[in-house]
Amino acid sequence: MDVQHVVAIENKWFEVMKNTALFVYEFDPRDFNLQDEIAGYYISDKDQKPINKIIISNIFDEIFNRK
């Protein structure tokens, strides 16, 4: 079996995550520069406004449906 994702969560956080919505904001990548390649951090020196917002209401469904 080829595994693409691994998530480790402490048991005490399960209920919190199950009942939490996640807001994902998408930005235009043109004004961002890679700050840390290993961590995957990108930064921008300019003010940014989101071009899209995705609300994930069930984090676990989203994780399990990823391929």
Query: pLDDT tens digits, residue range 10-40?
Result: 999 989 999 999 999 999 999 999 999 999 9
Return the domain boundaries, the chain: 11-65
CA-to-CA separations, 58 to 20, 42, 45, 48, 62, in angstroms, rounded: 7, 27, 33, 27, 6
- 28: tokens are 């235009």
Closest CA to 9 of 58, 60, 56: 60
- 35: tokens are 């700050």
pTM: 0.66
Q: How far apart are CA 50 and CA 55, in angstroms?
A: 13
Q: For the chain, give the mean pLDDT.
A: 91
